[in-house]
A and B are shown apart, each in its own frame.
Chain A
Amino acid sequence: MLIKLTGGTVYDPASGVAGQQQDIFIQDGRIINAPTEAAPDKEYNLNGKVVMSGAIDMHTHIGGGKGNIARTLLPEDHRSDPVARTALCRSGCGHAMPSTFVTGYRYAEMGYTAGFEPALLPINARQAHMEMGDIPILDKGGYVMLGSDDYLLRMLTAKKDQQAINDYVAWTINSAKAIGVKVVNPGGINAFKFNQRKLDLDEQNCHYGVTPRDILRTLATAVKQLGVSHPLHVHGCNLGVPGNVQTTLDTIQGIGGLPMHLTHIQFHSYGTEGDFKFSSGAAQIAEAVNNNKNITIDVGQILFGQTVTASGDSMRQHANHKHANPNKWVTMDIECDAGCGVVPFRYRDQNFVNALQWAIGLETFLLVDDPWRIFLTTDHPNGAPFTSYPHLIRLLMDKSFRNDMLATIHPEAQKMTTLASIEREYSLQEIAIMTRAGAAKLIGLKDRGGLGAGNWADITVYTDNPNREQMFEKPDYVFKDGELVVVDGKIVATKWGTTHTVKPDFDPSVEKDLKDYFDRYLTMKMDNFKISDDEITEDGRGSVTVHPTVN
């Protein structure tokens, strides 16, 4: 079927198109050049409408064990947002940590067509893929978590060479069916198992004698040398600790120019000034990001209300458990591989720290110059549920709305932020970069995030509306792989997206030592650990897309 989208105002940063009126043609799921003869089978008149590619959430906790722990922990949260089945859609629950089906529907209803789970524990990757396999419509993928696994730390202690590390990293990416590599509190999750309660960038793991700085350099080098597009995805040391802005600046300097993505940087941008010994480090962070082109960030904006934090960082989550609201929390040590911590949070605008966290996130968005190197996230659900994105977009695009909100938060926090003096308002093109073209480029998706011919037809159509929250929460149309799935912000059809992966090469002899390690120390056989493609595809719904490496 040939579909024509006629006369829309197109924002397609991947092709350098910024608000020009253009027609778009779709055939067999992909965008094609204007055909010379054929008449379209279906035409949509998009005069006056805003057209972007489908949005991509490059960091959202949508699959894996800690999410299911968060769900199980909070039945009262689900009860406030039941989702009934319809003729088309499965039932489920919403709010902070929605059920899988509802996750897919609600993302699509906001114009999103892909989401990436940032913390795919190697040993839990199978579960993460199964959960994501039950998220309809969206494409998905994951960054496999390394850096606190005993195997890597043993290699570092044994001074194995970079090539050996690269082979192990590539083997793990292949085994876990990932598209990137993440490190969380480098070595810190491991150190917590040895009863260390904090780990600074240059502090040694008491058992291995390895520092977070060593781990970051080694893994960032591996990712680059393997040709994995997505730079090492880093949740740094000292999450949430006042004064951690210095740690983050040191982390940026310490990586020595290697590509590095610093995630939910808002949680890592805190100073110690002021009466409450808690201040914004956003200006310093933004300056460092602006000056270091190898660095990309996503913000991890907090928004006020109830949510739940679910993180691999068992060390910091344990330290933060006293803030649990409601007062119940879970941590886990996991399989000599990683860990997790789940702590419910209620961010309050009249709480000084929460209010300043809100402002720090916004300052970061507004002070970083290059929208290709900053990404719109709430670290769902940790800063806020993903359903708050339209509100966040309005805060970025509408200065007077932002300042109205600012005037309502804790008065001492208002005094500690420069937000009121920042004039910047994001443009539609900049939003399209952050949430589409930039995200696809960062992850290494070769035919998503753009509207040029050859791309998959993931397309979102909005009605231009000065109230950007209303505009972005209810697209007129969403197409996924060329199929119309949403009309007027409601699902009209469902389908299944693909799983994006990368398969870097490795020396197969890496399995010799691994097999011995699995046999001696782990509780599963090495061959049973590896995830095969058919595990994702055998139910007839999933598919695996392999993206090229870049060397």
Chain B
Amino acid sequence: MTEITEVPSPFCGIGTDDLCIAVDGLSLKVTANGCAVNTPLFEQPITDTRARVAGQEVDLDVAISQAAKLLQGAWLPVIGGCATDVNGMRGLLALADRCGAVVDNMNFVGARNNFLSMQANGWMNTTLAEVKNRCDLLLVVGTDVEAFAPRFFERYLWTEAMFLQDPSQRRVIYLGRAPSGDSSTSPNGTQATVLECPLTELPDVMAVLRALVKNQPVRVDSVGGIAVADLQAVAEQLRAAQYSVVTWAAGALAYSQAELTVQTLSAMVKDINMQNTRCSGLPLAGKEGEQTANQVCGWTTGYPARTRFSRGYPEYDPFLNDSRLLLADGEADVLVWVQAFNALSVPPVTDIPTIVVGRSGMKFGKEPDVYIPVGTPGIDHAGHAFRMDNVVAIRLKKLRDSGLPSTADVLNAIEQRCRPD
């Protein structure tokens, strides 16, 4: 048995890289700095090691050939999931380019709230080390931060800071949704301020808060059940803070046209920066390769990971390229599901031929036509993943020798096989 330290996690998105993991053959145990998100994903045992075609175990090469055959005969293949490392995404995009597929990251419906807002107005954002060292006021919008990333507060708020005398004096305000636990409570016992409202009222609440920040007249006393006087206090705290941070998870804003909420809060951040102090946004995201998919697709095509190649060149459409719609409407005729991180994240059930390039241990309601178990980046092979703030790419380590191929190995081999002779 060996113990590996300073292990980075590709799973949680906040880039924790201080895990200690005991490796005993193929079995892993997180011995320090685990969490409810990371530990189970590291410790999940390998079950499948062999590829299957129509439920029968076959050699890898046979499965690759069958996958290529299905794709070569397809009019509009869809590649969903897109949960893998940088090299896996490179292979995925090469394959999509080769066979004219639609690429659709599984978290895109949430991420779209951010992309639509960013592509309309832009934003002013920050990264985790700036939060850790500068943030004196954290405003959380519509999101349960600790459920998203259990160690967020421990790592980035209740810890030493370069520019704050007493980090425990930082203030936390929840707007819209209350936290599910108490990790946002300061070590000095101060609890977060919570201003709850029904999630669907959040657009109105944010609009009023922004108006108050801009000193616009507001003619109501309450909005979404929150007293305007309480929002006025938030506006004043934002203006008084040295370096406030507004955070949200796009996927948590699960209501129609939530991009307008992101737009309002991003515009509010810009407004505060015009009032002689600093404020920044911090979108929470990045689980299971979400940022990785969008970053690699971004530099390869110019667009985020909801892009089609069916006309020979990349075309981005955040609505029409939704793989669920393409499946529901019968437009897609082969589904490729790529998910190297999470065995519980299986493809949608469909009648069209399905190829799964997935983490070992997937249980299917309906056996796919081809299943190729692959290694997990950061466990079975080295690789790269992007953290939630996009700027930081972490170097994933190989922890054990499982012999499982990487996503890139498999997708590159299928792409090779799809080339015309």
Contact = CB atoms under 8 A, between A and B. Distances in A.
Given A523-B155, A527-B6, A73 B313 contact: no
Nearest to A66: B391
Residue among B295, B393, B394 with max Cβ neighbours from chain A (10 Å):
B393
Given A91-B313, A335-B127, A523-B15, 6 more contacts: A67-B299, A92-B313, A328-B121, A334-B130, A335-B129, A528-B8
Contacts of A204: none
Contacts of A126: 384, 392-393, 395
Interface of A: 65, 67-69, 71-75, 78-79, 82-85, 90-93, 97-101, 121, 123-124, 126-127, 130-131, 134, 150, 192-195, 207, 318, 324, 327-337, 342, 520-525, 527-528, 531-532, 535, 538-539
Contacts of A528: 6, 8, 17, 394-395
A91 B309 CA distance: 8
Given A127-B393, A330-B124, A90 B94 contact: yes
Contacts of B392: 123-124, 126, 335, 523-524
Interface stretch (B72-80, B179-187, B272-280): B272-280
B316 A65 contact: no
Interface string B368-411: 00000000000000101010001111110000000000001000
Which of B90, B296, B302 counts the most chain A CB atoms within 10 A? B302
A105 to B, nearest CB: 13
B297 to A, nearest CB: 10
24 contacts: A69-B390, A71-B298, A73-B119, A84-B313, A90-B94, A91-B301, A99-B314, A100-B300, A101-B300, A123-B129, A126-B384, A126-B392, A126-B395, A150-B133, A193-B134, A195-B277, A330-B125, A332-B391, A335-B130, A336-B130, A524-B17, A524-B392, A524-B394, A528-B17
Nearest to B294: A72
B295 A68 contact: yes
Contact of B391 (A84, A98, A124, A331): A124
A318 to B, nearest CB: 7
Contacts of A333: 125-127, 130, 134, 280
A193 B162 CA distance: 13
B420 to A, nearest CB: 8
A207 B164 CA distance: 12
A73 B390 CA distance: 14
Contact of A134 (B90, B125, B127, B314): B90
A521 B302 contact: no
Q: Summarize B's interface: helix, strand, loop or mixed.
A: mixed
A85 B125 contact: no
B384 A99 contact: no
Contact of A330 (B118, B128, B391): B118
A318 B128 CA distance: 21
A336 B312 contact: no
Interface string B339-372: 0000000000000000000000000000000000
The 7 closest A-B pairs by CB, nearest first: A93-B302, A78-B302, A84-B312, A82-B313, A335-B129, A328-B122, A126-B393
Contacts of A100: 299-300
Q: Among the interface residues A71, A98, A207, A520, which one has the most CB atoms of the partner chain B within 10 A?
A: A71
Contact of B132 (A130, A334, A523): A523
B273 A342 contact: no
Contacts of A78: 302-303, 314, 316
A73 B6 contact: no
A84 B303 CA distance: 15
B369 to A, nearest CB: 26
A150 B129 CA distance: 11
Contact of B18 (A79, A90, A525): A525
- How many interface residues does chain B have, given as a range? 35 or more
A527 B296 CA distance: 24
Contacts of A324: 122
Interface string B207-233: 000000000000000000000000000
B299 A99 contact: yes
A124 B242 CA distance: 26
Contacts of B118: 72-73, 328, 330
B317 to A, nearest CB: 9
B18 to A, nearest CB: 7
A92 B314 contact: yes
A75 B280 CA distance: 24
Residue of B6, B129, B160, B382 ringed by the most chain A CB atoms within 10 A = B129
B196 interface: no
Contacts of A131: 299
Contacts of A74: 119
B133 A336 contact: yes
Interface in B6-28: 6, 8, 15, 17-18
A520 B160 contact: yes
Interface in B70-108: 86-87, 90, 94, 97
Contacts of A69: 390
Given A65-B390, A68-B298, A336-B130, A523 B243 contact: no
A227 B6 CA distance: 34
Contacts of B273: 318
Contacts of A535: 384, 395
A193 B119 contact: no
B391 A65 contact: yes
Nearest to A529: B395
B115 interface: yes
A196 to B, nearest CB: 10
B154 to A, nearest CB: 12
A71 B302 contact: yes
Contacts of A130: 86, 296, 384, 393
A523 B156 contact: yes
B294 to A, nearest CB: 8
A400 B233 CA distance: 65
Contact of A72 (B304, B315, B384, B386): B304
Contact of A85 (B120, B122, B133, B312): B312
Contacts of A123: 129, 391-392
B122 A329 contact: yes
B319 interface: no
Contacts of A532: 395
A109 B289 CA distance: 34
A74 B298 CA distance: 11
